[in-house]
Amino acid sequence: MKRISLAIAAAALTVVLLPRLASAAEQLDRIDQRYASAKTPEEPNFQRHVMPLLGRMGCNGRACHGSFQGRGGFQLSLFGYDFKGDHKALLGGDEPRVNTEKPDESLIIFKPTNEDEHEGGERYKKESWQHHVLRRWIESGAVYDEKSADKLVELKIIPSEIIFNKAGEKKQLKAVAIWSDGTQEDVTPLCRFKSNSSQVAKVDARGLITADKPGDTHVVVFYDNGVVPISVMRPVSDKIGAKYPQVATANQVDKLVIEKLKKLGVVPSEQADDAQFLRRLSLDLTGTLPSPKQIEAFLADKSPDKRAKIIEELLSTPAYAAWWTTKLCDLTGNNLDALNNVTPKRGRASQDWYDWIYKRVDDNVAYDKLVEGIVLANSRNQGESYMQFAKAMSATYQDGGKTKYADRDSMAHYWARRTFTKPEDRVIGFAYTFLGVRIQCAQCHKHPFDRWSKDDFAQFKGFFTRIGTRGVSPESKADFDKLTKQIDLKGKKGGQGRKELEKLLAQGKAYPFQEVYAVKPRKQPANKNNKNRNRKKNKNRNRRNVGAASAKLLAGETIDLTKLDDARKPLMDWLRAKDNPYFARAFVNRVWANYFNVGIVEPADDMSLANPPSNAPLLDYLSHGFIDSGFDMKWLHREITNSRTYQTSWVPNETNKMDQRNFSHAIVRRLPAEVAYDAIRQATAADVRVETMQQDLAGRAIAIAGVSSRNRGRGAGPEYALMVFGRSTRQSNCDCDRSNEASLLQTVYLQNDRDVLAMIDRAPRGSTEGGWVNQVARELGIKQRPAQAARKRRPPEVQKRIAQMAKRMRKLRQAGKTKEARAMQQKIAALVRRFPAGPAFASQKSGKVEAASMDTEKIVRQAYLRTVSRYPSDKEMATAKSYIESSDDTLGGIRGLLWALLNTKEFIVNH
């Protein structure tokens, strides 16, 4: 009773004292100054002062009381922000940490000031300002009133940008909290500070920043749910201000990039030559090498707008639609393994997914409309009965049927994945895909680098609790049962049951499909207590397939879901709203990363407050422009690729040789897996096939619909090569599912793998054209001899083991275990040396052709154009010509030249 009365009295006194301390227009002094004396009349606020102080001292960190097990029988919420729970933990339990009757005997005072008694050591000293804050709060009644708690409106950091001139310079930050009641307070001593690169700038616990090496980074300030990054720069050269040279700019993208480079003293590289530009653009935009004829025509074209024209030309190719459909399938999680039993024919669901997106990319449907067809997807079209749906879908999967899944209104397979049935999984996947936000931390605790709390995650989850993915909707049940009765499945399960159902399709009958549908709300009886009971019921409603009664948008309003037939509708409205801070920015950032190797925010799927953009005005411009264009994806591609920034050479200068994040020069990057495999096939193909690669998608890796963890070994077509080069596994929606790192196994594949060697030596079969080497042989009148007997094969079990080890190495790298990954790579190298696979053409000798009988220079030029997309230099021409003409086996010399070019770094990277 005494504790309760003290709490009430303290609360009343707080109301009296706070207005005297500061009016809404005034600013409270720093807390270390106000509490320098123990005699201060001010009473600390639990949310504003006590919890931030405990966080600053590390009490709620992972290594202390914030761990999931707690420490010493006492647990706080990890990184704080569960004020109600933390207050209860401090005052309750078997051993309360707070004693309002004897404040000095409170454990949060006694232990942290006693190094011997406290496992975490001394956290503060007696009679310090920290001691005064905690003791004053306890003797005032240790109050926390959740209902009257104010919200942090803004955390203002002064200065907002820092530019240092030399190493060792210092600058003190000041943090001002602005609360919903108008109060402003200097909270610098209660903040936590973190530098995103201590090589550029170091920051101490007081917020004092010290300059180090040249470059740019951000110092991030944390207080309450405020996370504010401050840009810190130190120029890398003296080329700043009036000394900065004039640089041509083609559009607003260039102006904003140069604006940042000027502050850093970084001068961009020269513009890439035409051959470099065309190769880079074609690979980035269409996932396809330019053909030799295309290169020669572009180099010969003297028109000033030829670059803009080729951009438009490539944007209209099927290869553009195919490659960006593959990127969107990565993003949305088109995984074969997760789509089992979604359709009557295995693998068709993944193909449906790809075809549905491809049609919309090819038609240049607005990105928000494309996403709407996924987010609001139901299996049945608007106004379609279940019987009509079943017949239409059955026609889709019947042989020779003209009905196509791509023509349906929406793509419901997104919600039908077996890995996507729990609301929690849907929240995490949705946030990754459409918001570029890693929200999974908030499922269990306050996000360490963002504003999201456990409560934010729980309330956002409500939007995902009313999506039916098993069985059919109540209104479809009678028709579904009617169709099911016509099938005899007694005693037939699994594969047998599937075969029985497939017979329906063969007979032209309607198949009883399950459906994805929006679960409608159940009407609740009118009761004035319902409002209070809804929150308690939300946890159990989904178990009864009713769903949450309400949901809250991230950093937005709470929506009453009981009045909506589809709980996802306000979610989609929020996504496409002009003031949505994530949707457009996330897509823009990922597209930018495709062109520049890194995003404006990097990693591209981590748009947290503590991971700010390297160039915020640039991201703002492109995002607003994308929205204003009507979410036109081609507008975004044009705006980026027409910029001088994109068309800059990869060759660095003295000022930008260390730049990896400010887009002053192109970054040399390994080709994505699908693009790399297609490039090998194209480089080794006959001319007739090469010229059709951007128009004819048959056999293209960039047009493979789904991804599976199965069938990745030998004999599975391109699957082994795609695994070696790091194709996305599409298992988690994380961008890290794709690996673009170089590895020893990739080198081995290009040098010795039988698939590559077979592509070089392929001969015509039926209607399939042969390879370029075969084409040259025919043109020179050389008869090729079969080389199968010359091939030295690696034992299948060894090859399988190497593939398994490579997969393990990838996972180790993704987990940041570089030492273990390096050890695994050495083991792979040992196996490769022990079991080498010799070239297939080792003994293919076809005789010598006299130099006078062939145009060697033309052959060399064609070899260079089809691999590295440029003409050879004079030195390269002389060397290659001499090699071919001096060879006793002319065709072997030509073959060797092609093989050597395929194994250059220039071929396997985009530059």
Q: Which amino acid is at 879?
A: T
Quote the crossing angle between the two packed helices 477-484 and 386-397, to the nearest 10°: 50
Neighbours of 555 (CB within 10 A): 12
**Three-class DSSP category at 36:** coil
pLDDT at 11: 38
Q: What residue spans of 490-542 are helical by DSSP H?
A: 494-506, 530-541
β partners of residue 887: none
Residue 451 near residue 439, CB atoms below 8 Å: no
Q: What is the DSSP string of 69-133?
A: T-BTTB---TTS--HHHHHHHHH-SSS-S--SSSGGG-HHHHTTT-TTT-TT---S-TTSHHHHH
Q: How many CA atoms lie within 13 A of 164 on its CB side?
A: 25
Quote the crossing angle between the two packed helices 890-902 and 856-867, to the nearest 10°: 20
Neighbours of 57 (CB within 10 A): 17
Beta strand 558-560 with 550-552: parallel, antiparallel or unpaired?
antiparallel
Per the structure block, which two tokens stand in for 281? 């653009």
Residue 232 near residue 217, CB atoms below 8 Å: yes
pLDDT at 875: 97
Distance CA 255, CA 253 (A): 6
DSSP collapsed to 3 states, 183-233: CEEECHHHCEEEECCCCCEEECCCCEEEECCCEEEEEEEEECCEEEEEEEE
End-to-end CA distance of the chain: 75
Residue numbers in the chain where pLDDT is lower than 70: 1-25, 66-72, 115-116, 118, 400, 488-498, 500, 523-546, 710-716, 765-768, 784-794, 833-847, 851
β partners of residue 226: 223
Distance CA 98, CA 134 (A): 10
Residue in the structure block whose two tokens are 């390879």: 771
Question: 232-263 in b/e burial notation, b at 16+ Cβ within 10 A?
Answer: bbbbbbebbeeebeeeebbeebbbbbbebbbb
Query: How distant is the alpha carbon of residue 191 from its chain centre?
Result: 30
pLDDT at 840: 47
Beta strand 550-552 with 192-195: parallel, antiparallel or unpaired?
unpaired
pLDDT at 787: 45
Q: Which residues contact 361 (CB under 8 A, 6 or more apart)?
A: 320, 321, 324, 325, 328, 370, 633
- Separation in Å, CA 474 to CA 55, 386, 478, 514: 51, 11, 8, 12
pLDDT at 376: 98
Query: How distant is the alpha carbon of residue 756 from its chain centre?
Result: 31
pLDDT at 67: 65
β partners of residue 227: 222
Residue 690 near residue 291, CB atoms below 8 Å: yes
Model pTM? 0.87
